[in-house]
Structures are given as structure tokens and as C-alpha cells.
Amino acid sequence: DAKTTQPNSMESNEEEPVHLPCNHSTISGTDYIHWYRQLPSQGPEYVIHGLTSNVNNRMASLAIAEDRKSSTLILHRATLRDAAVYYCILRGYNAGNNRKLIWGLGTSLAVNP
Amino acid sequence: KAGVTQTPRYLIKTRGQQVTLSCSPISGHRSVSWYQQTPGQGLQFLFEYFSETQRNKGNFPGRFSGRQFSNSRSEMNVSTLELGDSALYLCASSLFPGDQGSSGNTIYFGEGSWLTVV
């Protein structure tokens, strides 16, 4: 199974950077690392994804370890609107296997004003 | 373009009844997944359909079933409802199934259907 491990909760102050870690030691060579976040009373929304290289977009940056067994989502300047549950999952090619996607509980991020 | 649409948004059912939830994916998306979300268990994968075929299934009892139609719309059904089935049921769509990793294959979620079983 494609399992990831994240801390249950983290806290940050507004306008400070936040580093959200994720371990995925069972990642296979063709798995993409995806991050989603879920705001209160909404469905999860896409944040960023990557394969091997670090990635940046308007929402966040994704730093991927050289061995790909861990990654870190970076919010450069946290705002109150970034308070959400952040999920790290693996999406990949594994022909013929019945891989069960496991989301887990994610990391609940609190942002203090 | 329109996002993932789920109906109904809220519903209350009685123990023992059955319920059907509907999901319309983003236009052009052929993969639809369903998830159950409860406070204690987080996001739990139910099943995934692609081109009308169930491609992947989570660890839920047979009371939970689903199907996908030729227009990619999907329904899930829960029979003989139990109190523990009270949850937010989320539908998500993507271009390809979760085990096909072209660049991205981003998942787009609907707002969910809140089911309360009394």
C-alpha cells in the first residue's frame, strides 16, 4: 500500500514560513508526491505535486529528498487562510496492482495571528 | 469549467434504510473516486471507477457499492445503514486512475454529501 506518514498537527504564526513534513518510505520510482489541503467544511483541494525535483507554484513549494523517501511542503508566508488539514499522498503507475490509496489524517495546521 | 458536483449535499436517513449519492465529474474526466470522511478516521478510500469499471476498492463492507455510467457520472449506494455510516462522503474526479501516473493526474474534489444516520 502507498502509505505516507505526517505529524498530526502543527502550529505557525502568521507571515512566518511553515514546513510540513511527510515520510513515504515505500515510494516507488514512478510515484508522484501530491499535496492537498482541506479547508473547514470543504472538499480537499490540490496544492502541488512533484516527482524528483523541487517544485514551486503560487501556493507553495515542494522539497523532495534525494532518496524520495520524504518530502516537505513549504508555505513561505503563512496566512490565516492557510489554516487547514494538509494531506500528502502518492499517485503513481503500478500496472496490474490493486493499490489502495491511503490518505490518513493529514497534518492539521493552525495559524496564529 | 464546472467542478465536481455532488448531490444531495445534506441528508438524514434512518438505520436500516439505504441511500444513493450522486457525483458528476469534471467534463472530460473518466476516473471517479469516492471517500468517506469522519472526524476520527480521516479520509478513507472507498472505491475508484474508470470507464465504468471498478478499478480499485478500499476496505469497506459489501453494503457499500458504486457504479459509473457511460457519461462518467457515478453513484454510490449504502444499504442497511448503520449509525456509524454517518459521515461526509466525498467524490473526486481525475483524468486517469490513481495507478496511472502521468504528470500530475490531479484529483479534484466535490464539496461532499453530508449523511446523518439516526
Top residue of B107, B108, B111, B113 to mutate, by most chain A CBs within 10 Å, is B107
Q: pLDDT tens across A32-57, in order? A: 888 999 998 889 999 999 989 999 99
Are B98 and A101 a contacting pair at CB < 8 A?
A: yes
Strands (E), chain B: 5-7, 10-13, 19-24, 31-38, 42-50, 53-57, 64-68, 74-78, 87-94, 108-109, 113-117
What pLDDT score was predicted for residue A96? 45
Are A105 and B104 a contacting pair at CB < 8 A?
A: no
Q: Is B103 helix (H, G, I), strand (E, B) or coil?
A: coil
- Which amino acid type is present at position B107? I
Question: Do A103 and A87 contact (CB within 8 A), yes or no?
Answer: yes
Point out the least confidently predicted range of A9-13, A97-101, B34-38, B94-98.
Answer: A97-101
Are B103 and A32 a contacting pair at CB < 8 A?
A: yes
Are A104 and B99 a contacting pair at CB < 8 A?
A: no
- Which amino acid type is present at position A66? E
Q: pLDDT tens across B31-52, in order? A: 999 999 998 778 888 999 999 9
Report the alpha-carbon distance of residue A32 to residue A26 in Å, rounded.
Answer: 12
Q: pLDDT tens across A48-97, in order? A: 999 899 999 999 999 999 999 999 999 999 999 999 999 998 876 554 44
Cα nearest neighbour of B106 on chain A: A46
pLDDT surpassing 90 at residue B109: yes
In which region does residue B63 sit, left (phi positive, over 0), alpha (psi from -120 to 50) or beta (all else)?
alpha
Interface residue B82 vs chain A (CB under 8 A): no
In sequence order, what are the beta bridge partners of A111? A12
Residues in B closer than 8 angstroms to A104, CB to CB, are 42-43
Look at strands B87-94 and A107-112 and give their pairing: unpaired
* Residue B71: partners with Cβ closer than 8 Å, 6 or more residues away: none
Report the alpha-carbon distance of residue B44 to residue B92 in Å, rounded.
Answer: 13
Average pLDDT over every residue of B5-12: 97
Sheet with B5-7, edge to edge strand ranges? B5-7, B19-24, B74-78, B64-68
Report the alpha-carbon distance of residue B101 to residue A32 in Å, rounded.
Answer: 7
Nearest Cα neighbor of A91 from A100, A82, A80, A79 is: A100
**Rg from Cα positions in chain B:** 14
All cell numbers assigned to B41: 478516521
